[in-house]
Every structure is written in structure tokens, then in C-alpha cells.
Structure 1
Amino acid sequence: MTITLAILCVLGIIVLLFINQASFGKLPQGTRLERIKQSPNYNGKQFLNEIKTTMMTSENGTLSVYKEYLFGDKSLTTPDTAISAIKTDLKSLPRDKDWIVWFGHSSYLLNLSGKTILVDPVFRKASPVSFVNKMFKGTDIYKPNDMPDIDYLVISHDHWDHLDYETVKELEPRVKKVVIGLGVGEHFEYWGYPVEKLVELDWWDVSEQSNGFRITATPARHFSGRSLFMNKTLWASYIFESPKRTIWIGGDTGYGPHFAKIGQKFPGIDLAILENGQYDKNWADIHTLPEQLSKEMVELGASRYMTVHHSKLCLSNHPYFEPLENAKKAAQESGKPVLMPKIGEVVYLD
């Protein structure tokens, strides 16, 4: 018994030391926590989704889900050869044109009316350790130094595959504003970002910016957390209204009534960027399933779409190429055009 207790104590100390690394961030406190407590999306202990959401939807229990995920068929989840990608000189792209460049998974760079918007950049690590969630061959070609100066760094939520500590630390000197959900600012302040840079929003909060820009945080159906504590910060999607066009940045989200609400509130969305990948029937509430993708397109009512959250990381057991097939099928079913660029390809939005 003494030996067992000693081993457990040592393991506990190792875990505590590990999760106390700076990369895990900090939980909201002080005035930030007081603001969180006033949110209608916070129940006094954690943030909630608009509708009842179950993390693991399998009837066989959580252990069976983890067993299937860890030991299920992974023969097609990772490509054998390098993904085809283009290395673009981003700093030389025109600022007087609207464009988008996707970097794989959920990272992409937008230029709207001369403002650069970098979304969920993950260029170093997508997990606490480098040997987990390794990037597919050929996709790891962009680094923080390749980015131009950033007007808006947008983070949908604080999961490791969307908020890369090393990347945002390197980018800080060249970032003017950070757009985040409630509570996520605690991480950024801890990592050296001045509070003046942070635009921290609750769902449906509106932030009026200069030069005709307006940002609205909109709901998503997901969860948050970088360590043992879940849902202490808010996950979100965002509407960016520029002088020329309206873009919806979807982040991670399962299907829900928020798609129709956003479409009704913003009937002129030019481009909507949807999650499409890392889905599974075992967590059907928190990620979009393939059969739901065209329904989301119809309810949002955007003029055109692009899908992300695929082609760079394996976080589920579906074939790595399946999301591309989903996008084509959803385009046919919805009658909506879907952009399908290569990683690094410049798509001009005009």
C-alpha cells in the first residue's frame, strides 16, 4: 500500500508539473471572471451550449469510444504520401484585393478591404507534445514568420488544434488586435499580450472597428479547455463585416439552431467557412456530420462556402480524403458553390 501511494503521488506531481507549463494557459480570474459570471451562456460553473449537448453520444459508454478511437481502423486516416500544397509569398500579395489562403485544418489568412485576418493559426504544435497530432506530410510548410503583419488574429476557441501557444507567442509583435471568446483573454495576457489588443466577446456581442469593419461573435455548438478544466472559456463563431463583404468564420461546431439564426440575422453573407472533418458518430453533437453539411449551407444562406478542419491532422477515424468528398456532395445537394483550394493557394474573392 505504501509503495502504491508513493507511485500515485509521484505520478500526480508529474501531471501537475506538466499541466503547469505556460502553454496550458490560465483560467479566467479577477474582473474577467466577474464579466463571465454575467454572461447568459454561463451557469455559474461553466459555459453551456444553446441546446443540450452531449460530449460522447455513443450508447456504449465513454471507454468504448476511446477504445474505438485509439484502436479502430486507421488505415486510411493518414495519407502515405505528401499532401499537394503551394508555398505562397504571403507578404507580397496585394492589399487592394480581397483574398483567402488556407493552410490546412482550420488555419487561414483573409485579406478584406486591406485588413489581414488570421484565423486559428497552428504552425508549430497541435497538442501539448510534438509527437501527438502530427501534421500530414507536405502540410507543415507555413510558419509564423511567413505571415504578414496581422490586423486581426481570430481564435474560435482554446483547443490545441486551434490555439497554438508557440505560434501566437511568435506572432505577438505583429498582431494589432486579437478577437476571442469570453475568458480566452486570460491565456493571451498570461502569454504577454497587452489587454489593449484583446477584443473579448460573448455571443451576439458587436465590436465596431475602424474603417467600416464590424465584428459580431455568434454561437457555436462545441466545448473548450486546454487541460483538466472544461468549458471555462467560450467557444464562438464570428461574423466579419467589411466595407465590401460579409464573411462568417464558423470555428468548430456541431449542427444546431444557431445556423438558421445566423442566416436570418445576416442575410448577406458572401462567404461562410464551415467545419468539415474530425467528425464521428460517437461525438455527433460537437462536430458537423457529413449528412448535416448541406443543411447548414441552406440554413446559413451564404452565397458560397469553403470547408476547413481537414487535410492536415488526424483527430478522428474517418478517411483523410472523405471531407473533400463531403464538400462536393454538399455543394450538389445545397446548390451552393463551394471553394476547394489547395493548401497555400490564393483564392481571390472578387
Structure 2
Amino acid sequence: MTELVNIQTSQNHLPKQPQEEEDYEKLPPITLFHKITFALLGICSLTGWNSILNAFDFFQDKFPKHDYVDVAFYFPIPIMCSNFLVGITLTLIGNNIPFEKRIPFALRGAVLTIIFICLIGIYLKQTQAGIALVFIVLIFQGIFDSLMINSAVALSGATQSGVLISIFWNFTALSGIIMNVLRFIAFGAFGLQDLDNGTCLYFAVATLFYLVGSILGPAPFFIFTNYVQTFMLFPGVSVFQKPSYTLIQNPFVLVFMCTIYNLGDLTVARNQGSQAMQNDLFQFFFLYIFASMDGLITSILMTVAPQRATNSKDRNFISYVNMFSLTFGISVGSFMALILVDE
């Protein structure tokens, strides 16, 4: 991590240049180590959210909807709210805590939240104390996730390397697919009758990614509006609102739908319309297209916007504002999704 930070800080020791050339001196060469590190940072950036997302069936089983809350609609809210709060203070945090301390701290904190939320679901199921603790842990999960991804985005932008930025965002999208595959493996290894052990294994692998990672212009507005739309419809409406699936049974279909979303991010509407449009294949296809556009908009804006800056301080600031717009959009979208809940 220190070597990566040196890519940015080494620029500060170069001779002063005219304003238009400032901070665009030749950087140290990008090595395989840098690429692997940014790939790991990309995977870790959304591991916590994706692991919880794919385990919604587990948490809904532990805290039934009719007695507690609809997990699909309410679990994202504390995460996104804490993301929003961290985003507000991120510039202050970034000015006082360096990358090499901030990122490992966030990764290790996320390890604890993933472990705690799994244990709470198993040992405090169907209790008011259990659901309250889950929401508290989700708040901390959002804090650590926001610190992690915001710092990683700023660090990737500071390198001025299109290769590293591309690697980071590609592996961020790949993070979801990895967690989808792990969830399928847990289903296959333990079956649907042993969700506790299967989910424990699944979350254990998620924490492993965190542990490995800890060792080693108009852009904000468009990012904000993009994620308002995204999280109004995903996952609550586009995945969980359909009454039943026929081609693939629950809970496999829930993970399958999330896999489709992540595939679209890497490379629907409410439950109405004609009978033909209720076919499972339409639902799968629409979600893929929906996620494809989301991933395209995000990757373009996150890559291009920091390049407008002429110094590292401005690049960091642009990256922070972009990520704040993203997380704020997710928060607003998650809240607005509540108006679409099918009571």
C-alpha cells in the first residue's frame, strides 16, 4: 500500500512546472504488484455489501417478514445512510489520515462486521435484540465500506493510470460475481436445510478477501442520478417483488438474479403488464440490460472526471465528490424504493 501511495507523493518532489503541466510529470512505472493490489482493492470494495445481498434469504428466514421487516427493502438503508455520512466528512478524513492507514483500518473493521452479523443471525434469530443488533452492525458495515471504496477510488485516480483505474473498477464489478458463485457453492455443499453452516462458510470466505486486501464537471450529478434510479429498483423491486419464479426455485433464483445484475455491471419495472412480460426470461434479460447501463455510466464518469484535474489535491477532491454523489444517490434510491413496496 505504501508503494502505491508513493506513485502519488513522488510527484510532490519534482521541480515546479507551469500550472497546466503541474503534476503530469512521468510517474514511476506500473508493476504487476500495483495491478494485483488494485484488483484486490476492487474485490474488497463491495465484498461486504455483495455478501449480505446474496444472504438476504438467510436473514429473512431468521427474521420473518410478517414479524420484523422486509429484508430486501430495509437492510440496504442503514448501510447507505452511513455511506452518506462518511461521504460528507471524507475530505476532512482524507486530509488527516493517509491512504496506507485508512484502507487497512476499513478492511479490518469490515471483517468484524461480517463475522458479527452472521453470528447474530444464527444465535439471536427471531428476537427484537437480534434485529436491532443487525441494523447496528449494518451501520458500521456501511462506514467501513465507504471508507474503503472512497479511499481506493481516490488512490486509483491519484495514480493517473488508466490501467489501474480500469483494473479497480472491473474487479469491483467482479466482486459481486465472486460472491454469487460462493453462495451457489454454499448451497451445493450444505443444501437448503443447513443454511447456518452454509452461510457461515460463505461469510468466512468474504472475510478472507478483506484480510488479504488489508495486507497487501457534471460527473457527480450524473453519478448521483444514476444511482438513485439503480437503487430504487435493485434489489427490492427488480428481484424480490416478482411473486414467484418457475424456471429456478427459491432461494437459488435470488442469487441467480443478483448474478445477472453483476454480470451486467461487468461487461424492471413493477409487477404489472402483459402476461408474456411476466416470463422469468424477460425478468433476467431486463435486469442484465439495466445493470449494463449502470456499470457503463459509472466506469466512464469515474475514469474521466479525475483526469480534468491538474494536481493530485484536485484529483482526490474530484474522486471524493464523485463517490459522495454515488453513495448519496444509493441512499436516496434505497429510501425511495420504500414507496414501491408491495404491501
TM-score of Structure 1 vs Structure 2, range by shorter chain = under 0.3
Bigger strand fraction: 1
Instruction: Determine which structure has greater relative contact order: mean sequence separation of CA pairs < 8 Å that are 6+ residues apart, divided by chain length.
Output: 2
TM-score for the superposition, normalised by structure 1: 0.25
TM-score for the superposition, normalised by structure 2: 0.25
Bigger helix fraction: 2
